[in-house]
Amino acid sequence: MSPLSASAWLAGGAANPALVGGARLVPLHSVEEARGLLTVAEVERQLPFAPRRCFVISRVPDENIRGEHAHLSLHQFLVCLAGSVVAEVDDGASRRAVALDTPRVGLHMPPMVWGAQHHYSRDAVLMVLASAAYDPDDYVREYERFLALARGAR
């Protein structure tokens, strides 16, 4: 599966692609000038939820896979602040891959979308905003259980 490049999608000015299970790319407001790049995400403009938790993933060896789970009720918003990472989203019926390769585009992952991230560049810094505090009971960590839950939701 060849990943869709977030930066190419943004440069092409294309409509928001339907990924899977309500997951979607979101263009962020950016201003680039001689002093650098400023990128902004505001609740109810670009962010579809008010973040309650933030975490950053970096220094991931290229061969490692992060994520590999879904959430029952949590929303996530992924932004690659530096470098690039391939994010896969899966709704139990189909799967899409996106190369998050610009801080100007975020990936919204609603509940019950299986996510995995891999092929981190050496300089990759992935920020994840979450709609709630950490709750281990909200995680679906077994793919077969996810598929059963996803089938039941249809």
**Count of CB atoms within 10 A of residue 51's CB?**
16
Residue 71 is among the residues annotated as catalytic for this protein: no
> For residues 90 and 113, what is the distance between their CA atoms, to the nearest angstrom?
6
Cβ atoms of 51 and 42 closer than 8 Å: no
- DSSP secondary structure letters along 62-118: TT--EEEEEESS--EEEEEEES-EEEEEE-SS-EEEEEE--TTEEEEE-TT-EEEEE
Exactly one of 69, 71, 75, 119 is catalytic; name it.
69
Going by C-alpha positions, the residue among 33, 43, 153 that lies closest to residue 92 is: 153
- Identity of the residue numbered 80: C
> For residues 130 and 67, what is the distance between their CA atoms, to the nearest angstrom?
13
**Count of CB atoms within 10 A of residue 19's CB?**
24
Q: List the catalytic residues.
A: 69
